[in-house]
Amino acid sequence: MLVTRIRRTRITIAAGLAIATWHSSSALATDDNWQFTIGAGVVNGPEYPGAADNKTKAVPLINATYGRYFIGGMPGTGVPFGVGANLYQDQQWRVGVAVGAGLGKAREESDDVRLRGLGDIDGTARGGMFASYTGSWYGVRANVMTDIGGKDQGTLASFDLEGRYVPLKGLMLTAGPGLTWADNKYTDTFFGINAAQSARSGLARYDAKGGINSVRFSVGANYRLTPNWSLNARVTASELRGDAAKSPITADKSQTTVGLFSAYRF
């Protein structure tokens, strides 16, 4: 079922997806000049983590870098929209810090009938560190981000490995696995059911513990029309694990996100 209603917190996630696809074939800025990326696209993905239904939404894309600093989203940072700095960077390594937040609520009770009585989950600010390494035909990204907004949304750590192949000039294909680890606080907030929620919803109380939250495999394509214009596509198939997969809130542990974007860099 396609739903055209735009929910702002999902927009920032999709924008980060678009930027990641764009930067997969672009060198990071290392000089003190402004570089901007603007664009737009569409994303089809789950209504919320563990949802059975997907929704489609339009997505704007805005990003700016100045030397080691960036505003917007950057691949591998764990921040869909925010500000950050590369503490160290060269042609292969990038290590830095970032602070950012989603716009709007992280999940709304009205998203699905099985969420009734559980209440909304507010958006929060996150901060942490990221690192990436780019080889001749592969890339590795990792980040650790924690809730600094006091919303009981804990800590997330992500790791992705991606292979790259250029079958013809201007076209780069990417593919690879990844996983996300979540602590007890994050998992219980998004997948647990406390006593008050149980009384309101009629669902049994459920204490969700942390661990490997999800595993995924992503496939992407970047076609550079000109030195400035690119077309991007990305498909990510993920599966919830552990207590997140077993939660009564989870309608489907298999989640697929598809994104199509056009971007202009100057």
Nearest C-alpha neighbor of 224 from the set 258, 266, 262: 262
- pLDDT recorded at residue 236: 97
User: Which residues are CB-contacts of 155 (< 8 A; sequence separation ≥ 6)?
Assistant: 128, 144, 145, 146, 147, 182, 183, 185, 186
In the chain, what are the domain boundaries? 8-265
Residue 147 has pLDDT above 90, yes or no: yes
Contact (Cβ atoms closer than 8 angstroms) between residue 144 and residue 4: no
Percentage of the chain exceeding pLDDT 70: 87
Nearest C-alpha neighbor of 236 from the set 6, 3, 16: 16
Residue 10 has pLDDT above 60, yes or no: no
State pLDDT tens for residues 122-140: 989 999 999 999 999 999 9
Number of residues written out for the chain: 266
* Mean pLDDT, the chain, whole residue set: 88
**Which pTM was predicted?**
0.86
31 or 48, which is more confident: 48
Contact (Cβ atoms closer than 8 angstroms) between residue 60 and residue 89: no
- Residue in this structure with the two tokens 């661990």, named with its chain if needed: 211
State pLDDT tens for residues 205-255: 999 999 999 999 999 999 999 999 999 999 999 999 999 999 999 999 999
Comparing 5-9, 26-30, 253-257, the range with the smallest average pLDDT is 5-9
- Residue in this structure with the two tokens 């009938």, named with its chain if needed: 113
Q: Say how many C-beta atoms besides its own lie within 10 A of residue 116's C-beta.
A: 14
Instruction: Please provide the CATH number assigned to the domain covering 8-265.
Output: 2.40.160.40
Residue 81 has pLDDT above 90, yes or no: no
241 or 25, which is more confident: 241
State pLDDT tens for residues 148-160: 999 999 999 999 9
Contact (Cβ atoms closer than 8 angstroms) between residue 229 and residue 262: yes
